[in-house]
Every structure is written in structure tokens, then in C-alpha cells.
Amino acid sequence: EGKAIGMTAIVIMLFLFSLLYVTGKQKTDVVECVPYDKAYTTPRINQIDDKTYQVFAVAKMWNFEPSQIYIPVGSEVDFYLTSTDVVHGFNIAEKNVNMMAVYGGINKTTVKFTEPGVYKITCHEYCGIGHQNMQAEVIVN
Ligand code: CUA
């Protein structure tokens, strides 16, 4: 009987660990909804301090603006995303970022870039003939 209880305890612990692991992982990719403001439809990069940036990313057929985002290693970036036409995707595969760009809506996520490199942003929602070439990049160095 003691053995059965021990096994049960192990199973419960494994379950709790996997739950913690999953929630911990999702923490890096929480998409928030931000109240709509027309200011977000103007693409721009705002530097808050040496390692903190805001990017107002605008998706439209068929590109993202800004299309090149240069930041130093270790930067934390708040991405505010909208679309000026149809629904687009906003995917940074290496950073587990997966957002939708929607007309009239703003989605936000925060990403920390701790390694130098070029991080591709791609549209992963079919949006017409130019879809597969719709991309941008974050250049971290
Ligand atoms: Cu934009 Cu696919």
C-alpha cells in the first residue's frame, strides 16, 4: 500500500511540474489586447532607455513596417501590432511569438532578445498573392 501511495505522489508531482513548465513557457508569449488608438497605425520604433524599446508594427498587403528593427543585445521590446487592411499574422519563430494583426485592433507582446542575430518576422496568415513574401526582421547586435 505504501508503494501505491508513493507512485501516486510521483505521478501528481510529475503532473504539477509539467503544468509549471507549460505556464512558464507561455509567460514569454502572452498576447495582450490594448485599447485602440490611431497612434499605433503609424509605424515607428521608440527607444525608452538603452535596453527598452517599443515597436509600433503595422501590417498591410504585403509588408510590415518598420521592415528592419535594429536593437542592441539584451533589449526588451514591446511590440504593438495592428493591420491597416486584412488580417495578417506576425510570427517570430525563434522567439515563439505568434500574433494576429487585425484592422481596428492592437495586440501587444513583449520579447527579450538576449542573443545576437537576425530574427525573421513572417506573416503566417494567408492574406493574398503577396503573402509568402511578407516579412520583416529584427537585427540584434
Ligand atoms: Cu500578410 Cu499573409
- As a whole number of angstroms, the longest Cα–Cα distance in the chain is 67
How many angstroms separate the alpha carbon of residue 103 from the centre of ligand 1? 13
Evaluated on CA atoms 4, 8, 9, 11, the torsion sign reads: positive
- Per-residue confidence in pLDDT tens, the chain, 141 aa: 667 777 777 676 776 666 666 555 544 567 888 999 999 999 999 999 999 999 999 999 999 999 999 999 999 999 999 999 999 999 999 999 999 999 999 999 999 999 999 999 999 999 999 999 999 999 999
Interface predicted TM-score (ipTM) of this complex, two decimals: 0.99
Model-level pTM?
Answer: 0.79
Task: Answer whether 60 contacts ligand 1 (Cβ < 6 A).
Answer: no
Task: Answer whether 125 contacts ligand 1 (Cβ < 6 A).
Answer: yes
Whether 58 and 69 have beta carbons less than 8 Å apart is answered as no
Task: Answer whether 88 contacts ligand 1 (Cβ < 6 A).
Answer: yes
Of 116, 26, 27, which Cα lies nearest the Cα of 74? 116
**Atom nearest to 62 CA in ligand 1:** 1
User: Would you call the peptide bond into 66 cis, given omega within 30 degrees of 0 as the criterion?
Assistant: yes
How many angstroms separate the alpha carbon of residue 120 from the centre of ligand 1? 14
Task: Answer whether 126 contacts ligand 1 (Cβ < 6 A).
Answer: yes
Q: Per-domain residue ranges for the chain? A: 1-28, 31-140
- Cell 494567408 maps to which residue? 126
The full 3-state SS of 71-116, as one line of letters, equals ECCCEEEEEEEEECCCCEEEEEHHHCEEEEECECCEEEEEEEECCC
**Domain topology for 31-140:** Immunoglobulin-like (2.60.40)
